[in-house]
Structure 1
Amino acid sequence: MNKMVGLWAHPRSRSTVLERVFIERGDFEVFHEPFAHMAFSADSAIPSDEWDHSLPTTYEGIKAQLIQAKERRHVFHKDMCYHCLDELTVDVGFLAQQDNIFIIREPASSIISHHRIHPDMPLHAIGHKALYDIFCVVTKLTGKVPYVINADDLAANPEPVIRKLCDYLQIEFLPHAMSWQRECPAQWKTWRSWHVAAENSERIVMPEKQSVDMGAFDRYPKLREMYEYHRTFYARMNEFCQ
């Protein structure tokens, strides 16, 4: 039976570079933020690039696309829970059809990175609260704590983290998937401006500059409010990182 892996993330969580590993594997059909197409359109305020008008724009249509793809081969999809939170919260049937894994990144880093690209992002789009909500739904559904990856662990020790994830998913670790050519995969073109670093990468690496511009919280008070709101949910999930 074919496998479906759902990587649930929040913006600026290094989820795209983890997705790139699954693109390079070659044995999964990979979908990049499919549920974003129900949350946004080419006319939305959020920055976007080459919009693909051929993709479904309803929750049921997107879900059907993923399920149909699973009939052909293994499926990996990465998305933000806030894109489809109301529908996903009650759709335990869909969640039960896949391995649900989660990735989190310390919110000061992710919020400041998010603000550089989309200064007008709303509170809920930071994403940690929605991610935690679905984490709780999956915990209740399965009776066990879901698999959680901390993005800093992934960046610092990519091969051990990916090996451990493969063991959890019961798939083979493929060394060739840990490196790639610098390019923009077709899946990323709608959101290309969000993934410049991932597009120009050749493997998962820890960024050279580790300091976070904490002064941004003083220059933009709303960022501090976002941080105070979301850090609780990050901390709760971080307790369960693998």
Structure 2
Amino acid sequence: MTIRIAMWSGPRNISTAMMRSWENRPDCDVVDEPFYAFYLQQTQSPHPYFDEVIQAQSSNYDTVATQLSQGPVNAKIQYQKHMTHHMLANVDLSWTKNIRHCFLIREPSEIVNSYTQSRGVCSAEDIGIIRQSQLFDEISQVTGQNIPVINSNDVLQHADRLIPKLCDALQVEFSANMLSWPSGRRCSDGVWAKHWYHSVEASTGFATVAKKTFTLNSAQQRVVDQVMPYYTHLKAHSISL
């Protein structure tokens, strides 16, 4: 029986590196942001490669949810990389019941700074932290799971300790293959990879990155202040080292 794992993250949060980690297991297939087309179709948000995403994926929520929860998988484990802002308010989450969930968080100021550099603008809705907190509570209620939360900075600094703990929390055997991977693009990457995945394509593991000094403008700081209580709620559930 296939083990289905859903990782819930916002953008600019090593989510693709985490997908690389799981994909490098010999027993795991990955799914990259399966609700992206649904999100774009519903919101008409002007994202890079908008038309290509719509053409590449089903934009029907129920179709995608059924595929993720019941569709065939050619591996022991299926790892699903999800963006929390793709899950619009009031969507049916019953499909998540028999999936093992985990949440990936990052300090909001770092996300806002990185996102703004990539797209030029950044709102609280863009980075999905508020929705991430809501989904954590909602999925916890649907599944009854004690959902593990991991902090991206902890992963980058202590992957050799944190990834095994995550596997343990998800009740899957740890594989040392998860700590490194070959550089380059993958056929499993979404069509948006050409815009977003430059850094991860050059990566070969969870390399520690020197902390950058940056200053947020007033608009960016307002976003940080808006989402901070929700980030704090999630952080309280994070796996400790």
TM-score (normalised: structure 2)? 0.89
> Aligned AA for 1:205?
A
- The answer to which of 143-152 and 63-72 deviates more is 63-72
In structure 1, how many angstroms separate the alpha carbons of the residues matched to 2:177 and 2:78?
19
Q: Which residue of 2 aligns with 1:17?
A: 17
Q: Distance in 2 between matches of 1:157 and 1:62?
A: 34
Deviation at 1:117, TM superposition (A): 0.8
Change (3 A) 1:15 1:37: same
Whole-angstrom distance in 2 between the partners of 1:82 and 1:158: 26
State whether residues 102 and 148 of structure 2, in contact with CA within 8 Å, keep that contact through their aligned partners in structure 1: yes
Q: Where do 1:180-195 residues align within 5 Å? A: 180-192=181-193, 193-195=195-197
Question: 1:143 Cα deviation (Å)?
Answer: 4.2
> Could you say which residue in structure 2 is the equivalent of 1:236?
233
Q: What TM-score, normalized to structure 1?
A: 0.88
Task: Report the secondary structure of 2:82's partner residue.
Answer: strand
Tell me: CA distance 1:82–1:138, structure 2 relative to 1, closer, same or farther (3 Å): same
Q: Distance in 2 between matches of 1:87 and 1:62?
A: 16
Query: Partner of 1:58 in structure 2?
Result: 60
Query: In the TM superposition, what is the alpha-carbon distance from 1:48 to its structure 2 partner?
Result: 3.3
Moved over 6 A (4+): none
- Residue 30 of structure 1 is matched in structure 2 by 30
Contact 1:51 1:189 in 2 (8 A): no
In 1, Cα distance between the equivalents of 2:57 and 2:8?
20
Q: 2:206 corresponds to which residue?
A: 204
After the TM superposition, which residues 65-144 of structure 1 pair with which residues of structure 2 at under 5 Å, given as runs?
65-70=67-72, 72-73=74-75, 74-88=77-91, 90-91=92-93, 93-143=94-144
Distance in 2 (alpha carbons) for counterparts of 1:101 and 1:4? 11
Give SS of 1:237's match. helix
Pair 1:46 & 2:47 matched: yes
Aligned partner of residue 51 in structure 1, secondary structure: helix
Call closer, same or farther: CA 1:96–1:144 in 2, change over 3 Å: closer
> What are the ranges of 5 or more consecutive residues in structure 1 without an aligned counterpart?
none
Would the alpha carbon gap of residues 59 and 50 (structure 1) be closer, same or farther in structure 2, given more than 3 Å must change? closer
Deviations 1:16-35 (A, max 9, x none): 11111111113122101111
- Cα offsets for 1:128-182 (capped at 9, x unmatched): 1000000111232344542100111000001111111111222221112321211
- Give the distance between the partners of 1:14 and 1:50, measured in 2 at CA: 25
RMSD over aligned Cα atoms: 2.1
Letter in 2 for 1:130: R
